[in-house]
Structure 1
């Protein structure tokens, strides 16, 4: 597997990722960059984009999803709850949503998916090997906002409680939608919002 982190442009700096399997099939997680950015990497590595995984439907995470889907005939995953087709949630259709605990497979790449509403109704996290793609559910030392359209502090608290109890190794890299990377163990030990949720606090923001 090859893994590429593509830092987002100002002012939102959305993290986006591209993984290429040993067989040359590629997965984009949160296509926030322009399509040409992915195209360049794919062509340099003689890879074919087959799958687009969105952790949620906010505009700063799905900007090139439809263009990439059309260009490469790739399969697009996004939860139906985040397909409003408006300014905040620009996608109006996807090929698939996610079942709780399902595994999306692309050759040796295995993405286990859990629903984590709170930032948006259709938010998910994706575990692939030593990488946990968190979208805007979990940041290094923080969490995604719950005061935007579709957000819920109570749902976020429940999602954090669930996340903390999942069988995820402590050394797993936490790759959030914005900001610096961390490890799952660091967040369990030091993230105020996870610790507060585990104490039963539902009013995180």
Structure 2
């Protein structure tokens, strides 16, 4: 497997990722960068984009999803709850949503999905090997906003409690939708919002 971190344009600098399997099949996670940013890497590595995984449907995470799907005929995953087709949630359709705990396989790549509503109703996190793609559920030392349309502080607290109890090794890399990377163990130990949720708080702000 080869992995690439492709930050989207300022001012949001959304973290997006491109993974290429040993057989040359590619997965884009949160396609927010320009289409050519992905196409150039795919061409360089003679890879074919087969799968697009959206951790949630906000505009700053799905900007290239429709164009990439059309160009490559790739399968697009996004939860139905985040398919409003409006300014905040621009996607109106996807091929698939996520089943709790399901594995999405692309050759040797295995993505396990868990629902983590709070930032949006359809937020998920995706574990692939030693990499946890968190979208805007979990940041290094923080969490995503819950005061936007569809957000819920109480749901976020529930999601953080669930996330903390999942069988994820402490050394797993936390790859959030914005900001710096971390490890799962560091977030369990030092993230104020996770610690507050584990103490039973439902209003984590």
Per the normalisation by structure 1, the TM-score is 1.00
Aligned to 2:107: 107
Q: Distance in 2 between matches of 1:3 and 1:149?
A: 32
In the alignment, structure 1 residue 186 sits paired with structure 2 residue 198? no
Q: Deviations over 1:61-84 (max 9, x none)?
A: 000000000000000000000000
Q: Distance in 2 between matches of 1:10 and 1:204?
A: 29
Aligned to 1:177: 177
Aligned to 1:147: 147
1:155 CA drift (Å): 0.1
1:9 CA drift (Å): 1.4
Q: Distance in 2 between matches of 1:202 and 1:14?
A: 28
1:156 CA drift (Å): 0.1
Q: Distance in 1 between matches of 2:4 and 2:98?
A: 24
Alignment of 1:16-35 (within 5 A): 16-35=16-35
Q: Distance in 1 between matches of 2:200 and 2:53?
A: 31
Aligned to 1:54: 54
In the TM superposition, structure 1's runs of 4+ consecutive aligned residues that sit over 6 Å from their partners are none
1:204 CA drift (Å): 1.4
Per the normalisation by structure 2, the TM-score is 1.00
Unaligned ranges ≥5, structure 1:
none
Aligned to 2:40: 40
Q: Distance in 1 between matches of 2:88 and 2:8?
A: 18
Q: Distance in 2 between matches of 1:11 and 1:68?
A: 22
Aligned to 2:164: 164
1:177 CA drift (Å): 0.0
Q: Distance in 1 between matches of 2:172 and 2:8?
A: 22
Unaligned ranges ≥5, structure 2:
none
1:8 CA drift (Å): 2.0
CA RMSD, aligned part only?
Answer: 0.4
